[in-house]
């Protein structure tokens, strides 16, 4: 079962790629629930949020259960995983929040940590890919580094694939999209 692989991999190497996390059918129904009212992404937290297109050039919208049953189903699945991570790895994860990102042509997200300076706001980062027609050359790959700035791997954004990684441990970036 992949949840056991997830637990083992997070505890041993700090990351896990789950290639068939959702089916193409699941992805299509989720995408149908997402409104077209995305906003330019911002960086920072709460009062310090700001737009900075030199760092991040994508658009986002926070996902809420009210958007439809497919999103509720996804959030429920993530809640089960959150509970299992707490049970098995004692992470103390209080909740799961997620947003949808769209990277227009030329969009990117420069190298960053999701939990800078150990602020404890985010412990596990997840990225679910919904690119049904992605092909080599389209860009948007996720590049993950270790703390010494050595590239660990580059992940193609293929539909249904999800990566989990420890937020404080792995600087990462999204390469420009085509």
pLDDT digit string (tens) for 73-107? 999 999 999 999 999 999 889 888 898 999 999 99
Report the alpha-carbon distance of residue 144 to residue 151 in Å, rounded.
6
Length of the chain: 178
Quick: pLDDT tens for 111-142.
988 876 656 667 899 999 999 999 999 999 99
pLDDT, residue 26, reads 97
- Helices and strands in the chain: count of H runs, count of E runs: 3, 10
DSSP 175: P
Distance, CA of 71 to chain centre: 15
């Amino acid at each position: 079962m992949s949840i056991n692989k997830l637990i083992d991999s997070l505890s041993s190497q700090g990351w896990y790629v789950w290639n068939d996390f959702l089916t193409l059918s699941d992805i299509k129904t989720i995408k149908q629930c997402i409104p077209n009212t995305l906003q330019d992404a911002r960086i920072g937290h709460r009062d310090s949020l700001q737009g900075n297109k030199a760092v991040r050039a994508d658009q986002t919208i926070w996902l809420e259960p009210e958007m439809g049953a497919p999103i509720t189903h996804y959030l429920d699945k993530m809640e089960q995983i959150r509970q299992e991570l707490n049970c098995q790895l004692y992470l103390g994860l209080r909740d799961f929040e997620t947003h949808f990102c769209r990277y227009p042509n030329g969009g990117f997200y420069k190298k960053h940590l999701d939990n800078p300076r150990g602020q404890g706001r985010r412990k596990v980062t997840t990225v679910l890919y919904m690119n049904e027609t992605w092909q080599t050359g389209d860009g948007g790959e996720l590049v993950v580094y270790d703390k010494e700035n050595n590239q660990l791997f580059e992940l193609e954004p293929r539909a249904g694939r999800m990566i989990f990684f420890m937020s404080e441990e792995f600087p990462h970036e999204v390469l420009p999209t085509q």
